[in-house]
Structure 1
Amino acid sequence: MTTHKKFLYLSLFCWVLTGCDKDAFLDKKPNTAIIIPSTLPELRSLLDNTQVFTYSPGLGEMGSDDYYMTETNWQALPFVERSSYTWESDLYGSQLNITDWTLPHQQILYANIVLEQLEKNQPTAASKTEWNNIKGSAFFLRGFAMSNLVQHFAAAFDSTSMTTTAGIPIRRNTNVHENVPRSSIKECYDSIFADLIRATSLLSDAVPPIAKNRPSKPAAFAQLARMSIASGQYEKARTYADSCLGLYNYLTDYNTVSTTAVSPFDRSHAETIYFSQAISEYAVLFTTSTTVFADTTLYRSYATNDLRRSIFFRVASGSNMGFKRGYTGTVLPFTGIATDEVWLIRAEALAKTGQWQAGMADLNNLLQKRWRSGTFTPLTAINATDALEKIRVERRKELVWRGHRWPDLKRYNKEGANITLNRKLGSQTYTLLPGANKYIFAIPANEISMSGIIQNPR
């Protein structure tokens, strides 16, 4: 059997497990023709599957306040996109297969297959480096997938309730017969951190110049920094951001980027540390849309000489601005990891830990590469609170349409920001209050019925 056919069978097998009724499927014995990859080239190819490992959930971005729509255009949307926009309790209607939930679980299954096979096939001296790198990649990809699930299907991290608040099920093997209950938020974050820390000891120091879908040590440190800031562990966030930037800290001077191109960046953009994009099921997220408009207040917050104003945005319809293609080079939003985010994480962490002047220096280092040459005046702050506010304003402007706004809103409101979102459609106004249950997406109904895990209240 050719390697191609092996992976085809495996893909069909995993698709059945994640997308269909597992109980009905498991009543039948799997086809003996299904062969699990075992050699290093096969395991590497499994993790290189860009149809599986380069996508992240899109529900959060659709629920964010980065964009708006007219009532007419909203009414033409499919059910999930329409209900996401107005934060409905019934988010999915009759739709059962929700890719935002199933795809990260497929990624976890693939990573678990690789980790189990590696333990059965110990390396030779000649293959040790590749064996380590594949193992580190599997740990990273499992941690990345779990991070996405936690940020979409669980509450914001709260140190006072982390041991009692439900997170997501933690799967650490390929046993599909096992019904895994939901673990606590603390257990989920502990598991994510453990995977990513293991990855840092196994992965290469170098960021691939072309194959950005392959994890690296800087990517693992960056994801550790991202999840540290999500959980309010600012000292750790600074340390991990330091570790990442010590290995890879490149920032693009936007004066060298076309302000008129539809696609200012490509898939191998030099700032990208790890490539991922939003799932392709939601047309609302397409940067080619002529019916999705950038939030007016947000767009106007960019100064005339801020090059991001023309590099990130385009005219969508009339006077309404839409989004250009970002670091993916495709019509889908970038949801991976890039150095600009890491600089902002370190800046915020410094501001939160008493080193706000250093945080402002990090922020200005980024911004001087975003403004037209000779026009940027470094930002100043009078205290830590002022610095934090300025850093978070620029974080939103820098990371717009990249999947960050939703988890940021969750953590800001957990800290007391009291940000209320409003949508207006015709005469109807829809409101999302700070800390509302609707910030936590419902687990698909078929998963609830098959596994018996508890549902998120909405």
Structure 2
Amino acid sequence: MKKYLYLIAVVALSITGCRDYVEIEQIGVRTFKYTSDYRAVLNNNDVFEGAYGYPILAGDDTEFSDVARQNTLNEIWGNVYTWRAKFFAETISDIDWEKLYKTIYTSNEVIAGVMASERGTEAEKQSLYSEALVHRAYTYLSLVNIYAKQYDATTASTDLGVPLLLTPNLYTKLNRASVETVYNQIIGDLKSSIKALPAIPDYNVRPSKAAAYALLSRVYLNKRDFTQASLYADSTLALQNGLLDLKTYVGNTTAIPQRLNDPEIIFSKTVNGAYIGVQISNEVLNLLGTTDLRYTLFTNAGTAFSPSFVGRGYWRYRYTNEGIYIGPSVPEMILIKAECAARAGNPTLAISTLNQLRIKRFTTANYIPLTIGTAQEALMSVINERKRELFGRGFRWFDQKRLNKESNLAMTVNRTFKGQTYTLSPNDNRYVFPIADKYILLNPELEPNP
């Protein structure tokens, strides 16, 4: 008999769904029967809102330069930070991998059953079905960008992606689909979801048309289809374009809204686990400068953290205590729109778009608009603005991977950890996270990364 599908077996213990091979309703167990049951499942933010965390440690916007702080990192954090060939011992789980596949399993439960559920209208069922498609698409986009090579049109059809599980079958094989196949599934899920979703959700933890458009914009940015990425960014911003004016919160940080009231959050996803005391690189701090309110409000001295360290760490999440937000947002869509404009040879639109964001990030006295130069200069302005806006949340790791495909933007990264220097070259195999040995041992068809 096929070995038990370990990577998502844990899910079966934490969800009260009816399995296909159970023919009677179990005593004391509520099986999925009514449309409202599926609504309740999708309302479980513990399953659907959390995503990944380790990319925060790998990106070059994180820099544990304080030796005392280095000595407080656990072994796994140290392995991720130094881009080791293996992060986990054979008996250790990858909490990101398991969390993401748990979300996929639960999404598949909804997709497989909601349309045949009772006591719901067709519109309600279609809406829930579409929500599950968006959650699944987001999760596969995360997985394929963490555990597979960067999308490259010339090799995507043969590059190993991730196991593509589309049914709630715990005994399915874990052969890895190609990167191209995974991306096609993501795009198909998102496009299929749009019709039945509201333009803007009642709560931003739920998917919407704006969320689907925003994810499509991310997808096409990674595929280097900048025309489509721009179109979907525009479609998103036509539905949701609110920005926090940070000058409003100087001396009044208690007014910073929680996620459900934050106009910037399009689709709320948060980091998996507690990432406390993540030191921000000097390169990012210098790029921000001390007058940028993202420096003033969203970083803090290392002495404010426990354990303390010399330097500054990411602080934004401390205001709302809801975790670190990593879902698609209005600022991200503005940045994608600006990047696509620069790549299309339109520096005027690129810089004016960036300035729409930047004017909200400084006091009136300190705000200086960016000036228009060449298209290449505008592109560098966008890349730098992404560093300023998205630091501390793992975005930089994904940017490094995709920008490495361009020789003029590729960078070699060096870091010193516990007296040893580590180097990460552009397009190095270590840009692909290792799949934990634990899962490969239990499922030999699951090919390891190089």
- TM-score, normalising length: structure 1: 0.87
**Residues 155-166 of structure 1 mapped to structure 2, 5 A cutoff:** 155-166=149-160
Please say if 1:272 is aligned against 2:268.
Answer: no
* Alignment CA distance shift 1:14-1:375 (3 Å): same
Q: Which runs of 5+ in 2 are unaligned?
A: 1-7, 15-19, 304-308
Match of 1:192 among 159, 164, 186: 186
- More deviation in 173-182 or 232-241? 173-182
Identify the residue that residue 63 of structure 2 maps to in structure 1.
68
Q: Report deviation, 1:348.
A: 0.7
Aligned pair count reads: 430
Distance 2:344 2:228 in 1: 10
Identify the residue that residue 103 of structure 1 maps to in structure 2.
99
* Alignment CA distance shift 1:342-1:259 (3 Å): farther
Please tell me whether the aligned partners of residues 182 and 454 of structure 1 are also in contact (alpha carbons under 8 angstroms).
Answer: yes
Please say if 1:392 is aligned against 2:378.
Answer: no
Please tell me whether the aligned partners of residues 275 and 328 of structure 1 are also in contact (alpha carbons under 8 angstroms).
Answer: no
What residue identity is the alignment partner of 1:302? L
Distance 1:348 1:95 in 2: 43
Structure 1 residue matching 2:162: 3-state secondary structure:
strand
Q: Report deviation, 1:173.
A: 0.8
Distance 2:191 2:88 in 1: 35
* Alignment CA distance shift 1:178-1:457 (3 Å): closer
Match of 1:299 among 279, 285, 294: 285
- More deviation in 61-70 or 144-153? 61-70
Please tell me whether the aligned partners of residues 259 and 311 of structure 1 are also in contact (alpha carbons under 8 angstroms).
Answer: no
Distance 2:166 2:187 in 1: 14
* Alignment CA distance shift 1:96-1:319 (3 Å): closer
Structure 2 residue matching 1:41: 3-state secondary structure:
helix
Q: Report deviation, 1:385.
A: 0.8
Distance 2:13 2:225 in 1: 33
Q: Provide, for residues 128-161 of structure 1, a one-character-per-residue CA deviation record: whole Å limited to 9, x for no partner.
A: 3322221111010000110110111011010110
Q: Report deviation, 1:238.
A: 0.5
Q: Report deviation, 1:366.
A: 0.7
Identify the residue that residue 302 of structure 2 maps to in structure 1.
316
Distance 2:255 2:71 in 1: 29
Distance 1:239 1:193 in 2: 14
Q: Report deviation, 1:265.
A: 4.3
Q: Report deviation, 1:32.
A: 4.1
Identify the residue that residue 435 of structure 1 maps to in structure 2.
427
- More deviation in 362-371 or 319-328? 319-328
Identify the residue that residue 336 of structure 1 maps to in structure 2.
327
Structure 1 residue matching 2:302: 3-state secondary structure:
strand
Please say if 1:410 is aligned against 2:401.
Answer: yes
Distance 1:49 1:102 in 2: 17
Please say if 1:177 is aligned against 2:154.
Answer: no
Q: Report deviation, 1:322.
A: 1.3
What residue identity is the alignment partner of 1:303? G
Q: Provide, for residues 418-442 of structure 1, a one-character-per-residue CA deviation record: whole Å limited to 9, x for no partner.
A: 2111111353211111111111111
Please say if 1:245 is aligned against 2:237.
Answer: yes
Q: Provide, for residues 174-213 of structure 1, a one-character-per-residue CA deviation record: whole Å limited to 9, x for no partner.
A: 12222141111111100001111112111101243xx321
Identify the residue that residue 22 of structure 1 maps to in structure 2.
none
Q: Which runs of 5+ in 1 are unaligned?
A: 1-12, 20-25
Distance 1:304 1:76 in 2: 28
Please say if 1:56 is aligned against 2:47.
Answer: no
- TM-score, normalising length: structure 2: 0.89
Distance 1:258 1:238 in 2: 33
Identify the residue that residue 227 of structure 1 maps to in structure 2.
219
Structure 2 residue matching 1:431: 3-state secondary structure:
strand
Aligned-residue CA RMSD (Å): 2.7
- More deviation in 440-449 or 328-337? 328-337
* Alignment CA distance shift 1:319-1:342 (3 Å): same
Q: Report deviation, 1:381.
A: 3.1
Distance 2:426 2:295 in 1: 29
Structure 2 residue matching 1:337: 3-state secondary structure:
coil
More contact order relative to length (CA 8 Å, sep ≥ 6): 2
**Residues 130-145 of structure 1 mapped to structure 2, 5 A cutoff:** 130-145=124-139
* Alignment CA distance shift 1:16-1:229 (3 Å): closer
* Alignment CA distance shift 1:428-1:329 (3 Å): same
What residue identity is the alignment partner of 2:376? T
Match of 2:33 among 23, 38, 56: 38
* Alignment CA distance shift 1:122-1:200 (3 Å): farther
Q: Provide, for residues 382-414 of structure 1, a one-character-per-residue CA deviation record: whole Å limited to 9, x for no partner.
A: 221111110110011101112211111000112
Q: Provide, for residues 260-310 of structure 1, a one-character-per-residue CA deviation record: whole Å limited to 9, x for no partner.
A: 748944222221111111111xx5x22xx2xx4211121121234321111
What residue identity is the alignment partner of 2:180? K
What residue identity is the alignment partner of 1:196? L
Please tell me whether the aligned partners of residues 153 and 440 of structure 1 are also in contact (alpha carbons under 8 angstroms).
Answer: yes
- More deviation in 320-329 or 410-419? 320-329
* Alignment CA distance shift 1:277-1:95 (3 Å): farther
Please tell me whether the aligned partners of residues 80 and 93 of structure 1 are also in contact (alpha carbons under 8 angstroms).
Answer: no
Q: Report deviation, 1:258.
A: 3.4
What residue identity is the alignment partner of 1:113? E
Percent identity between the two aligned chains: 27
